């Protein structure tokens, strides 16, 4: 079995069997490398909870078809489970880039269009395909694009061919998505507008924005000089990076003890949480653009 080269791959483990495998280069991973780190993708059958009507198609078979069509796997997330027996079948997310797609320069950073696939072998998810984008300057992956364009493929029929077809469709849609990102970069936000964006983003991440552990200013604080320009694209990316990666310092107030406690925000590593927050922030950015245009 092929082992991972630490100079070209990063592995993050958390929770009950959850794993994130991230490529440090655009060459991506071999199927053996993925199998070693995220075995749920290569489950040899569906979980025992599935009925006979459930058509089991291994994600590994789909990946094999995509790799043969010049797609490269650059990130894999495998979900965890409290049930140890179920961990070999859990939901997984895979990000791929096509060898023939071109990167786009938006502002000061290169952006690569990606296909994001979500599936499981325990019945918790159908095959779902989304538009993604990888921003090299912050090595951060976005789920970016019109939510209504997400493609769902049920576990029946010729799943492999349909997912490959859908992946090409997503990559094609990514061309218009890149143009949408350029439009966001052409819009400037004043300080008050940035604060409104930050508070809305904070509300997506924490249920009670008034008692959130961090301030709105921290959400849109630039981590690098290239992100300082006050464009909607930059503000969106700042919020996405700060909320997804975590590491923001703040405090919470305990009503019972009447004391404040120092906290550091956690990264959003879970598949559903990461996907939903990404998409919520994209919706916020596109709605902001409409308001500015009006």
- Return the minimum-mean-pLDDT range out of 91-95, 97-101, 208-212, 218-222: 208-212
Strands 127-135 and 104-106 come out as: unpaired
pLDDT digit string, tens, across residues 4-20: 665 577 888 877 778 88
Residues 28 and 167 in one domain: yes
Checking if the pLDDT of 291 tops 90, the result is yes
Residues 40 and 138 in one domain: yes
Average pLDDT of the segment spanning 139-151: 71
Residues 161 and 36 in one domain: yes
Q: What is the pTM of this model?
A: 0.83
Average pLDDT of the segment spanning 16-33: 84
The mean pLDDT value of the chain amounts to 82
Tell me the backbone φ, ψ of residue 151, rounded to 5 degrees: -105, 130
Residues 228 and 272 in one domain: yes
Burial of residue 294 (number of CB atoms within 10 Å: 0-12, 13-18, 19+): exposed
Strands 140-143 and 151-153 come out as: unpaired
Residues 18 and 141 in one domain: yes
Residues 32 and 137 in one domain: yes
**Sorting pLDDT into bands at 50, 70 and 90, what band is 1?**
very low
The domain of 262 spans 191-293
Residues 61 and 121 in one domain: yes
Average pLDDT of the segment spanning 217-243: 94
Count structural domains, the chain.
2
Residues 54 and 170 in one domain: yes
Please report whether residue 39 resides in a domain.
yes
């Amino acid at each position: 079995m092929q082992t991972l080269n630490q100079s070209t791959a990063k592995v993050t483990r958390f929770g009950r069997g959850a794993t994130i495998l991230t490529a440090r280069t655009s060459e991506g991973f071999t199927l053996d490398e993925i199998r070693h780190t995220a075995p749920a993708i290569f489950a040899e059958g569906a979980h025992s909870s599935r009925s006979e009507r459930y058509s089991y198609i291994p994600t590994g078979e789909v990946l094999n078809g995509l790799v043969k069509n010049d797609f490269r796997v650059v990130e894999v997330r495998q979900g965890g489970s409290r049930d140890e027996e179920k961990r070999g079948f859990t939901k997984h997310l895979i990000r791929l880039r096509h060898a023939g797609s071109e990167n786009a320069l938006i502002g000061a950073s290169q952006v690569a269009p990606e296909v994001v696939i979500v599936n499981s072998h325990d019945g918790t998810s159908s095959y779902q395909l989304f538009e993604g984008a990888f921003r090299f300057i912050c090595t951060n992956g976005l789920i970016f694009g019109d939510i209504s364009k997400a493609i769902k493929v049920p576990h029946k029929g010729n799943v492999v061919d349909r997912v490959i077809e859908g992946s090409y469709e997503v990559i094609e849609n990514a061309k218009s998505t890149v143009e949408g990102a350029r439009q966001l970069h052409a819009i400037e936000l004043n300080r008050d507008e940035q604060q409104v964006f930050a508070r809305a983003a904070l509300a997506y991440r924490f249920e009670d924005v008034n008692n959130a552990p961090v301030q709105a200013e921290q959400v849109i604080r630039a981590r690098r000089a290239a992100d300082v320009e006050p464009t909607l694209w930059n503000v969106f990316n700042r919020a996405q990076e700060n909320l997804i990666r975590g590491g923001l310092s703040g405090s919470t107030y305990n009503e019972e003890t009447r004391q404040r406690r120092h906290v550091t925000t956690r990264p959003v590593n879970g598949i559903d949480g990461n996907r939903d927050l990404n998409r919520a922030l994209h919706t916020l950015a596109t709605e902001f653009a409409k308001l500015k245009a009006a």
